[in-house]
Amino acid sequence: MSAVLTFTRESMLGFKARKLRIAEHITQRELADMAGVPLDSVDLFEHNLPMPLDYKRRILKVLWAEKTKG
């Protein structure tokens, strides 16, 4: 018996990060600058494509800080 994992777009981390970025009124360029990562890395992350783990961490750190500064 094998298990099948089903991922919906809404359940993927990059999609959730994109929704949060938009809700916080931050452009991809602004997020890239704030996180110190290349602009294309934000796009790769939001589309759940391979990228350096450190860049993912930086992007998430900025988004979390923006969300919690309320």
pTM: 0.82
Q: What is the pLDDT of residues 14-67, one digit of tens each?
A: 999 999 999 999 999 999 999 999 999 999 999 999 999 999 999 999 999 988
| CA-wise closest residue to 14 among 62, 67, 66, 56 | 56
Q: For residue 62, give the nearest of 40, 41, 37, 31 by alpha carbon.
A: 31
- Separation of alpha carbons 19 and 5, rounded Å: 23
Q: Which domains does the chain have, with CATH numbers?
A: 9-68 (1.10.260.40)
